Amino acid sequence: MRIGELAARTGLSKDTLRFYERVGLLDGDRLPNGYRDFPPETVIWLRYVRTAQALGFTLAEIARHGEELREAPDSAEALSALFEDKIRVIDARMAELSALRADLTSRVGTGCPLRAADQQ
């Protein structure tokens, strides 16, 4: 299918699809007339990409893990491992944000909130 049909089926813009192609998320064949041609399973792949993004995965992570997931003998197990890794990253980031919040809270009303907390 050509890029216009793929855009219509996925709700993504042609520009987004071209960007995905540039960053390696899509691989369309070039026809002799210069048009891109995408196989039907590309629609399923793009749904995966959008869902993965909604779950907090970056495009780089999706590109890096996409091929290994397609080749995994047990994709459910492979996906579970990716989810567990992402949960660990989120937990670490939440701890960082909690510490930052506590630091900011301790500086409220100090008169010099940019001075290091231990120098007040």
Task: Name the amino acid, one letter, at 43.
Answer: V
Provide the angle, in degrees to the nearest 10, between the axes of the packed helices 41-54 and 3-10: 50
- Please tell me the pTM assigned to this model: 0.73
Question: What pLDDT, in 10s, does the model give residues 21-57?
Answer: 999 899 888 889 988 899 999 999 999 999 999 999 9
Cα 29 from Cα 36, distance rounded (Å): 6
Question: What pLDDT, in 10s, does the model give residues 17-31?
Answer: 999 999 989 988 888
CATH 1.10.1660.10 given to domain 1-56: yes
Neighbours of 36 (CB within 10 A): 19
| All residues at 6 or more sequence positions from 55 whose CB lies less than 8 Å from its CB, including other chains | 83, 86
Exposure string of 47-56, with b = 16+ CB inside 10 Å and e = fewer, is eebeebeeee
The residue extents of the domains of the chain are 1-56, 72-109
Confidence of residue 87 (pLDDT cuts 50, 70, 90): very high
